Structure 1
């Protein structure tokens, strides 16, 4: 590793090839880094412990431990999903999407208001520019 690391599990010092970053975990799992962070919080006893970390927040875990966690996590998800009635899944999805849509509509409204303000600012700047150009033209003509 290039950066100086703080080792929480010193038995892995010199065995960096066995380690993976949290962003690497996200890549392997096909999820975002935010999801990895959520898993660390949600499953503190099951998610692999941080082996080493840098001052710039580079965190490393044991690759095989993460792959084991991921396999168990996916197995649990399959079991849980297979027991939930489809109607329940759809109701939850509809609720999630309704909340998301409300959030997006509010964001859209804020952006529209900001756009209107920006358009007024552009118009004012164009008028000031035209006025300044006209004043310069008159000064040049009068000599």
Structure 2
């Protein structure tokens, strides 16, 4: 990995101008912001995933019992099959936490917020032809 600053590439560092210092500052700011945003995104994604696991466990425990909740967690971690946890997260957010069903659905399966409009647009465009 080349750690040389682009402003200094192939030039003597004793002859810095204001423009080169500005380029160096911009480069350092971009690298720092990328690292902070990447780390912040990772932490936010991890917190959201843990909240879904907690809601899934609570929803399955509320509806089916503790044994099935632990079984769903084991299936999610061992076999990477998360459908029971997703369904449990919906019911956990709706029945245990008291959320509205639409917010619970967006929380449990946020991809649906993008898939449903896309499917509707495809159906509408297909009907127009």
TM-score by length of 2: 0.36
Higher gyration radius (CA)? 1
TM-score by length of 1: 0.33
